[in-house]
Amino acid sequence: MLPFPIAGNASNSITLQILPNNGKAVSKSGVPLPQKYNASKIEWTVDVNTSLSKLTNASVTDAIPTGLDLDPASITVYGLTVDVQGNVTLGSQIDPVLYDTTASTLRNLNQNLIMT
């Protein structure tokens, strides 16, 4: 966001939100661990709303592929910083009280964001 002060009154300003050029609604990637072949787990990363669209009652749902199981205890949520080119920087971990993963199972990720 870019604040623009109004001439003659420094306490008033107009703020413009600049949306990124290359943002996406959702992007997902996975890294096999501990090695590429015969991995024992996959670390998934799901980036949501890097387009910085206004969201209401946001949720993320993903069916887990056959042969894989989700460990619901492994779900963590991090804030993202997105620049005007759509480049993403990982922020700090979000407090778990701000999201709900209780509907997630071995076969499905169901995560709801609690907007305050």
Per-residue confidence of the chain (116 residues) as pLDDT tens digits? Answer: 566 667 777 667 777 778 888 888 889 999 999 888 888 888 889 999 999 888 888 888 888 888 888 888 888 999 999 988 888 999 999 998 888 888 888 888 887 766 54
Is position 3 within any domain?
Answer: no
Is position 4 within any domain?
Answer: no
**Closest by Cα among 60, 55, 83, 58 to 70:** 60
What's at 69, amino acid-wise?
A: D
Is position 13 within any domain?
Answer: no
Domain limits for position 89: 19-113
Is position 109 within any domain?
Answer: yes
- Cα 71 from chain centroid (whole Å): 18
Is position 71 within any domain?
Answer: yes
Q: How many domains does the chain have?
A: 1
